Structure 1
């Protein structure tokens, strides 16, 4: 019934020309599937260009060791359906990613903590090689097409995709199979505005509430402006219901709204998710993780004993950031006693300093927005997808890949790895399905 409405029909249409969609398109075409991409932007991979500080952290080789790479890699991912990612990662992991991009003519370099980037260290190189690969394979891309609706028919063709072009004309394209690779809610200016969720929900799927992931945290604390700009090597813990649920260490940065830095970005998924379900979330910060609390107490007791004639404020010079000292004094309630000597410190005040330096707790009120986030936590419920193939259990012939589903990875190239892995797995599953059907 749809064929008369359009001159554009392909065996497979892929909605979204981002990382997952590009991988799926190349893989599907290599398997002999007539494939086309529908892209809302005027170019491919617009979001890819913004990743890795403009360098594009393609993957991370730190897990590509040992006898079970997929199991190690899967521990970097989060989903309400525990264990779901491993069935995809076993098919296409870090080693396969390196080999795939090498086959496209894109060599990698490995930098800090196993993070891998294009040799050019330019994120634009990634969509650039994909564009060449699509041209080599004669895969058409329909640019500046905003998908408005998808309907399903019991006959042939199965899917009808209603799009609005840049001239505001509505067109209807048809396909036998459909991949939804429209991303989540991060970086909405690049086109990942959550519209993919709406399309899949209309087809009967369930959305698990999306929250920002790999993002800065907002804190409820009266002296944030005084702390803003202070950096330190520390350890941070997310606490929910008096239980530490995740710990990370590294460079931490206080800001005028709260806290940031790589450890905080790693913790943010847990904080955002629990805030989203109404839990109270606390962040505990250890400013001196290299010392146990007992070692810190011994160190400061000796320090104050030697320099008992100095003021308490002066005693912290060279130990912590000078900018931090006034806040420490406020927390201890002695900020009005600027001439208080170390030899006159009470045990009660000392205990406050020990606690702050080792277990400084802050109430987490929120995260920064999706505009600041690097990934979306939450998405389409994976229990409604077939493990390993990513085909919908509700709509045969519909496959999901990338950020649109409820899978998100840690910081360090893991979310792009999920895009590559899921795009490949979906395309290969469709290829096998076609073979078994003949």
Structure 2
């Protein structure tokens, strides 16, 4: 079987957001960089982000004097403070400028979310493709890294690879960037292989769970609720303590629940479930009113329309599909023709409780194929703060989702890709210059 070999000063494994940014930055700083990519094109996962528009970043935190601090609050890690030094070097404003220099102007839409002006994810990849060509950065496509070894001698890193045609290729380098992503969207190449390579070099993996993903619920009437949307507050409770709350449009599905607030809550739910804790989702259908205001409103409403059935009295107040399920939950189901004037205080009290705190048992999340990010990954305790170089293996750097850093929904995970890729490349350049 034919075997060839190639050597570069820096090899970057993965042509996703972090790998592409690292390659462009490294080459601009005079580093001989090359990319190894298992797919047949760059940035395959980037195409799937932002509903095909590519939510590049989010400018809602880019105000005031503590922009990086505000931005860092959008991220989660076993080391809560770990993302901040990276974001201080390359935050939202730097990302906007970076893409401007590549020829990609951005626009801001809802909630500060920023997209390419064309609103096409493909434009981002086209710009990166041109940038790589302008800088003569080689990309070795359809090449899978099977193994990596480190030596204190030169070359430090030896990568055993295989092409689509089963050709064996050996790549060597003095420096290595792992930009392989996590476990989300395995069809795009983010299949967790980067964890295996990092572990072979001595690193530790923090148990990964799906992040920004839908929740599965144990509830008998999900089919009746499926498709219902409403504006409300969702809260994750563990041992009756609220550990995170989010507001926005919530959607019931035939398996459970979705919508932006649920996606934001999912990380907390996933990790608590992994610890075998009981996780409860409490939904507030009337978050615009306090419980006292809600009671006053419905008491007045039912007083006026006491001659109507309870079900009829709620038309126009609640989604029509919600009404029979809520009445059933409140114990009014067997009395569907019950008039408002005949409601007992016990019935009313239970109905008020459901409107303000309707509780569901969370059994699981949807899997990594439905998740937008991976929570968990290579332990950041083993990386140097602010440079992303391995503390265990000199010359090894990590960037992007492969490490235990993940962001909230809204462009923050791609921002981490750009930030970490850029910072790692600059740190390497500084090292090489003796700075």
For normalisation by structure 1, the TM-score amounts to 0.98
Conserved in 1, the CA contact under 8 Å of 2:4 and 2:168? no
2:286 pairs with one of 272, 285, 288: 288
Q: CA deviation at 1:334?
A: 2.0
Of the three residues 378, 381, 399, the one matched with 1:380 is: 378
- Paired with 2:142 and 2:280, the residues of 1 have a C-alpha distance of 44
Q: Could you say which residue in structure 2 is the equivalent of 1:360? A: 358
Shift of 1:6: 4.5
- Counting only pairs closer than 5 Å after superposition, residues 103-252 of structure 1 correspond to structure 2 as 103-252=101-250
1:119-159 per-position Cα deviation (integer Å, ceiling 9, x unaligned): 01000111110110010000000000011000011211000
Q: How far apart in 2 are the matches of 1:254 and 1:421?
A: 35
Deviates more, 1:275-284 or 1:372-381: 275-284
> Is the deviation greater in 238-247 or in 255-264?
238-247
**Separation in 1 of the partners of 2:209 and 2:363?**
14
1:26 positional shift: 0.3
Secondary structure of 1:322's aligned partner:
coil
Report the Cα distance in structure 1 between the residues aligned to 2:300 and 2:5, rounded to whole angstroms.
Answer: 83
SS at structure 2 position matched to 1:88: helix
RMSD: 0.8
**CA–CA separation in structure 1 for the residues paired with 2:151 and 2:78:** 31
Who is 1:74 aligned against?
72
Q: What does residue 100 of structure 1 align with?
A: 98
Runs of 4+ in 1 over 2 A off after TM superposition: none
Instruction: Give the whole-Å Cα distance in 2 for the aligned partners of 1:89 and 1:339.
Output: 60
**3-state DSSP class of the match of 2:100?**
helix
Aligned to 2:342: 344
Q: Which residue pairs with 2:275 in the alignment?
A: 277
- Counterpart CA distance in 2 for 1:105 and 1:224 is 48
Indicate conservation of the 8 Å contact 2:330/2:354, yes or no.
Answer: no
Per the alignment, residue 319 of structure 1 pairs with 317
- Does the 8 A contact of 2:5 with 2:169 survive in 1? no
Which residue in the other structure is 1:262 paired with? 260
> Secondary structure of 1:259's match?
strand
**What residue is the counterpart of 2:23 in the other structure?**
25
CA distance in 2, matches of 1:318, 1:155: 74
* Aligned 8 A contact 2:379 2:403 in 1: yes
* Residue-pair matches, total: 433
Per mean C-alpha deviation after superposition, the further-off stretch among 286-295 and 336-345 is 336-345
In structure 1, stretches of 5+ residues that fail to align are: none
Cα shift readout 1:397-435 (whole Å, capped 9, x = no counterpart): 000000000000000000000000000110001001101
Q: Distance in 1 between matches of 2:117 and 2:223?
A: 40
Alpha-carbon distance in 1 for matches of 2:221, 2:129: 50
Specify the SS of the correspondent of 2:434.
Answer: helix
Shift of 1:276: 1.1
Partner deviation per Cα, 1:370-414 (whole Å, 9 max, x = no partner): 010000000000000000100001101000000000000000000
State the shift of 1:7 in Å: 3.4
